[in-house]
Amino acid sequence: MNGVDLFHEIRGEGEPLVLVHGSWTDHTAWQAVLPRLAADHRVLVYDRRGHSLSERPPGRGTRVQDEDDLAALVEMIGAPVHVAASSFGASVALGLAARRPELFLSLAAHEPPLNAVVAGDDPGLDRVMREAQARVDGVLADVRAGDEEGGARRFVEEIVFGPGAWERMPDAVRATFTANAPTASDEQDDPDWDRVDLAALAGYTGPLLLTRGTESAPWFAAIADRLARALGRERAVVLDGEGHVPHLSGPARYAEGLAAFVASATRSR
């Protein structure tokens, strides 16, 4: 698939829906929402290149390669399709929508870390983002030094979920984060990892659901709202009580909301 072997699974019947996971994890991040979504749709989940069961090509990768992988999967299952994506996966989906909007029946994106789209807008926010990036850089330094598990633990406890979260995770989830740590590091070596062409993205005019959680870091709200304005919406949809991974923290609510959005997009055609 686009020159690499990409692990993928298809569940259910109906209009196609492709789910795109974020960094450090893999297709299993969607397992709690998959039964509900597959009840009405032909759902494709996959491991992005360099993650878990997919091929890990040598050399530094780019987000554009991830976008082209997604395009190849969309064309395989039958373009156009509905796409739902989270975190870095949402950056991938939005980047592809800017380049090839004709591949999408609808797009749902939760908290893409496209930091560059709000850089310079607010000095206070810039300071907070720099401090957060410094913590991420520390995590990635551990990974690059060969301590994948230590870096993964720090990422979970210092960046995403908070102290004690690593020990509460199932063994399989800890193993997934550890195995995918080098790819998470590689993703941020791409100089364009946090950028998107807003003018090109405005060319996507299909149904759109941009979401952000009230419990997430403040820059995700700023990014989501900036993207919403670029796409002709006033602001992103707020998920009260949710954070950066609502498909994990509130899977039933997330799945119902996504299913309702896709159904509405289908009816509007």
Domains and CATH numbers, the chain: 8-118+192-267 (3.40.50.1820), 123-188 (no CATH)
Specify the pLDDT at position 26: 97
Distance CA 170, CA 206 (A): 38
Give the C-alpha separation, 253 to 40, whole Å: 16
Q: What is the mean pLDDT of residues 199-221?
A: 94
| Region 164-188 average pLDDT | 94
Is it the case that residue 256 has pLDDT exceeding 80? Answer: yes
Is pLDDT at 39 greater than 80 in this prediction?
Answer: yes
Question: Could you tell me where the beta strands, DSSP code E, fall in the chain?
Answer: 8-11, 15-20, 41-46, 81-86, 104-110, 208-213, 237-239
Three-state DSSP class for 238? Answer: strand
Contacting residues for 168 by C-beta, under 8 A, at least 6 apart: none
The pLDDT assigned to 139 comes to 94
Residue 60 has pLDDT above 90, yes or no: no
pTM above 0.85, yes or no: yes
Query: CA-CA distance, 257 to 263, in Å (whole number)?
Result: 10
- The 10s digit of each residue's pLDDT in 72-90 is 999 999 999 999 999 999 9
Mean pLDDT of 165-188: 94
Residue 206 is predicted with a pLDDT of 94
Mean pLDDT of 179-195: 94
Q: pLDDT above 70 covers what percent of the chain?
A: 100
Cis peptide before 207 (omega within 30 of 0): no
Average of pLDDT values for 153-158?
Answer: 92
210-222 average pLDDT score: 93
- pLDDT tens, 113-149? 999 999 999 999 999 999 999 999 999 999 999 999 9
Mean pLDDT taken over the chain? 94
Beta bridge partners of 15: 41
pLDDT at residue 91 in the model? 98
